[in-house]
Structure 1
Amino acid sequence: MAQPNKKLPTRTVDISCAKCNAAIFKYHKGGKGALVKCFIERIAENYTEQACHCPGCGQAFARETLIRGAPAYKIIGGKVRMK
């Protein structure tokens, strides 16, 4: 299977919790679609203490998984907002 591109996209987006609006991380996102998965190597700044849990309210917003052989977070629908 193909690996994700090693060259990071220039655009960064702010990912925040949909429930409490706490900042989760800044992410180098490619394309203009919805946020479905986040490759860990593309995270610019991580504000979480515990992986896949919001630092404000503690709710789980993603699941850890391997996508195309690379570690990633699979986002649970409706749990995060992207700006």
Structure 2
Amino acid sequence: MAKPNKKAPSKAVNIFCAKCGCKLYRYRKGGKGALVKCFKERITEDYTSALGVCPDCESVFGRDTLIRGAPAIKMIGGKVRMK
């Protein structure tokens, strides 16, 4: 399987919890589609204490997985939003 691009995309987005609005990540996103997964190597700033759990409201927004051989966080639909 192909791995994600080594060169990180130039577009950076902020990822927020949909429930409480807490800032979760600063992420280098490629493409223009919805946020389905976050490759861990593309996360530039991490504001969470536990993986996939919001630090304020403690809701679970994603789970740890391997996608195309690279560690990633698979997002649960509707739990996060990005700007």
Question: TM-score, normalising length from structure 2?
Answer: 0.99
**Structure 1 stretches (4+) deviating beyond 4 angstroms?**
none
Shift of 1:10: 0.6
Distance 1:55 1:7 in 2: 30
What is the CA deviation profile of residues 29-80 of structure 1, one whole-angstrom value per residue up to 9, with x for unaligned ones? 0000000000000001000001100011010000100000000000000000
For residues 1-83 of structure 1, the aligned pairs below 5 Å read 1-83=1-83
One-letter amino acid of the structure 2 residue matched with residue 42 of structure 1: R
Distance 2:17 2:72 in 1: 18
The count of residues paired between Structure 1 and Structure 2 equals: 83
- Identical positions, percent: 64
**Structure 1 gap ranges (5+):** none
One-letter amino acid of the structure 2 residue matched with residue 4 of structure 1: P
Distance 2:54 2:33 in 1: 23
Aligned CA-pair RMSD: 0.4
Question: TM-score, normalising length from structure 1?
Answer: 0.99
**Structure 2 gap ranges (5+):** none
Shift of 1:5: 0.4
